[in-house]
A and B are shown apart, each in its own frame.
Chain A
């Protein structure tokens, strides 16, 4: 048995089996030869030294040295070997002995074989049958393994090759093996017992327990909570220290601490505007638009200011607008009188028009 186990069966070939058969046959023949040899064995046991030589069929001389044994003389004498001097008349015996030599040599060579050969040789017919059954079982397992792979994998040029090469996605095809995790509810690792409501999953066994909540129980819990928790949605948010308005229900007031990091009661946002912003679907958002328009206006204003800056002022006409000194007050009064008279429409000379009385042009009025 141990010899069989030591033999590695890697491929479903019959070579090991044939080898076993050969060895068995040989061992069987060896058994027969041993029995025959046993008849010769008592010769050395009796102290006989048998030296045999054979060379190419020559007549050889065999000498048997007889040694005295401590035994019954009569029995020893009876069992004494007869020294024979070969001659031509006993050619058959010589052949027989030749065969014996061959057998002896073969037996030695068999003995020098690895260990596993000896137990096979010693196996009886029954043990060998058991070993044969084990080998047959292993062959069947190997053959089943090949069959499980499927003929499509072996068939060259099939669609499976395309899937293997990545040209086709296996999870989108109906004929390929679907990915197990695409269908988690049909997982082969989940075993449902047919006798009772248990499920085996991931090495654990689970039992289905029905939910016992009824509508009545649910109603009971709702009533309990309505009695326990009285709450009104707060509609007024006040900072600490603010007075409560008279028309506000105190239960709807929410007090916000002043140092709350993410809370503020100040509403800087126009609610109507905010609502409009939320409902806006197209166009530029309001704030961006407003900023853009403000920027636009500012640019226009700047441009207008630059235009004003580029205007040229006549120095001669500028003197008209200069403030006169006090010593010239009388002359100014005379000039004012002249001015109060209807004007002829012609432009007066600069000397006639004092600068203090004529209204300044707009460009000089506004710096």
Chain B
């Protein structure tokens, strides 16, 4: 399901439902659809914005979301640093195609084997995007120490000579174990990635509770792997149902797309595809809303296609 927050024409269009609901909520604002391709999004909030991307359940698309939103932010002209906070299993470098360039990690920085700037891997195509991995596989990091280390890292990135980055994205590991606690330590806001199935929703609800207990209040949701045909056939929960269960504002709705697998195999983020894939467009829109601290005001529901008339052949 794709969110058409931007439709056509450079003018502002207001989509007002012709038949308002029987009990229209008083605080609902009218649906605005603005074309946003012809301007740069305005950065909201204090920089650097430290965002943790988490889910609870594994395999819902956290790393894919981190990679694509990070590259989208770089394309929009913002500087971003992505931190792969999974101590034991490292995947973010694979999605970005940077696996052969990771020589130093945070463990080496802590041990004094290298400086922090030597551990940052800069993307060759998008020079304002950098990757930092916590550790290499089979290396141990003292528990409880990781959270402090991340706080020092974020502080060091703020005070570096070329200036602080606009965004620091932290790819959280699955679960609510020590890795999760480490990853959320320096974060100010969170993006919760979930899929429209009950197991993922339950874990997402638990993770949201933990985040709120830890003091993170700005939590937005991305619903991934949406199948509009299954929603139409009532085999899958709709995005509005998911929102009703979790009670979180929507940052993005990503449709199921086979290009995700191909982009992973290539080590090329989905948002860079030409022509763009549907999921890539959705990630771009989600990145846009993240920059402006906005959320979705409407979602797209698939309907039966209208029957074509006789003159539809002539373009009617």
Whether chain B is bound by chain A comes out as: yes
Interface residues of A (CB under 8 A from B): 180-181, 183-186, 190, 192, 196-218, 220-222, 225-226, 228-237, 254, 256, 261-269, 271, 273-275, 277-282, 285-290
Contact with A along B197-216 (1 / 0, CB 8 A): 00000000110111011100
Q: Bound state CA distance, A29 and B259, in angstroms?
A: 69
Q: Which 5 A-B pairs have the closest CB atoms?
A: A221-B247, A229-B209, A287-B112, A286-B112, A225-B209
Interface size on B, residues (CB 8 A): 84
Contact A185:B35 (CB < 8 A) given known A192-B7, A265-B142: yes
Asked whether B292 is an interface residue with its Cβ less than 8 Å from the other chain, the reply is no
> When the two chains form their complex, are residues B28 and A212 in contact, meaning their CB atoms are under 8 A apart?
yes
CA distance A10 to B18 in the complex (A): 51
Contact A208:B15 (CB < 8 A) given known A203-B305, A271-B148:
yes
Given A181-B276, A183-B37, A256-B143, A209:B298 Cβ within 8 A: yes
**For residues 249 through 275 of chain B, which have their beta carbon under 8 Å from a beta carbon of chain A?**
249-250, 274-275
Given A210-B28, A226-B213, A254-B143 in contact, is the A199-B37 Cβ separation under 8 Å? no
Residue of B nearest to A234 (CB): B181
B306 interface hit (Cβ, 8 Å): yes
B residues 220-248 near A (Cβ < 8 Å) are 228, 240, 243-244, 246-248
In the complex with contacts A209-B301, A231-B209, A269-B110, A201-B37 CB distance below 8 A: no
Instruction: Say whether B46 faces chain A, with CB atoms less than 8 Å apart.
Output: no
B22-38 contact mask (Cβ, 8 Å, vs A): 1 or 0 = 00010110010101110
Residues of B within 8 A of A279 (CB): 152, 155-156, 159
Chain B residues lying within 8 Å of A207, measured Cβ to Cβ, are: 300-303
Measured in the bound complex, the distance between the Cα atoms of B118 and A282 in whole Å is 11
* B102 interfacial by beta-carbon distance below 8 Å: no
Q: Tell me if B247 and A222 are in contact (CB < 8 A).
A: yes
Question: Measured between alpha carbons, how far is A192 from B246 in the docked complex, in Å?
Answer: 31
12 contacts between A and B (CB under 8 A): A184-B284, A186-B9, A205-B306, A206-B4, A211-B295, A214-B27, A215-B27, A218-B248, A229-B206, A229-B209, A231-B213, A275-B152
Contacts of A282 in B (CB 8 A): 115
Are A205 and B111 closer than 8 Å at their CB atoms? Answer: no
Q: Which of A204, A214, A280 contacts B302 (CB 8 A)?
A: A204
B window 9-58: CB within 8 A of A: 9, 15, 17-18, 25, 27-28, 31, 33, 35-37
Q: Does B122 contact A (CB under 8 A)?
A: no
Also in contact, A231 and B152, with CB within 8 A (given A198-B303, A208-B298, A212-B25): no
Chain A neighbourhood of B142, CB < 8 A? 237, 264-269
Contacts of B8 in A (CB 8 A): 185-186, 190, 192
List B contacts of A201 (CB < 8 A). Answer: 2
Give which listed residue, A200, A263, A286, contacts B143 with CB less than 8 A. A263
Nearest-CB residue, chain B, relative to A202: B278
User: Does B88 sit within 8 A of A, measured CB to CB?
Assistant: yes
Nearest CB of A to B29, in Å: 9
Q: Which residue of A lies closest to B135 (CB)?
A: A262
**Once the chains bind, are B31 and A208 in contact (CB under 8 Å)?**
yes
Contacts of A215 in B (CB 8 A): 27
Given known contacts A192-B7, A204-B302, A229-B213, A277 and B18 CB-to-CB distance under 8 angstroms:
no
Query: Residue on B with the closest CB to A197?
Result: B15
Contact, CB under 8 Å: B37 / A278 = no
CB distance from A357 to the nearest CB of B (A): 55
Q: Which residue of B112, B140, B250 contacts A285 across the interface (Cβ within 8 Å)? A: B112
The answer on a CB contact under 8 Å between B88 and A211 is no
Determine whether B98 belongs to the interface, using a CB cutoff of 8 Å to chain A.
Answer: no
Asked if B114 CB lies within 8 Å of chain A CBs, one says yes
Q: Is the CB of A213 within 8 A of B144?
A: no
What chain A residues lie within 8 Å of B213 (beta carbons)?
226, 229-232
The residue on A at minimum CB distance from B147 is: A233
- B76 interfacial contact with A, CB 8 Å: no
Q: Is B300 a contact of A213 with CB atoms below 8 Å?
A: no
When chains A and B are docked, how far (Å) is the Cα of A203 from the Cα of B303? 11
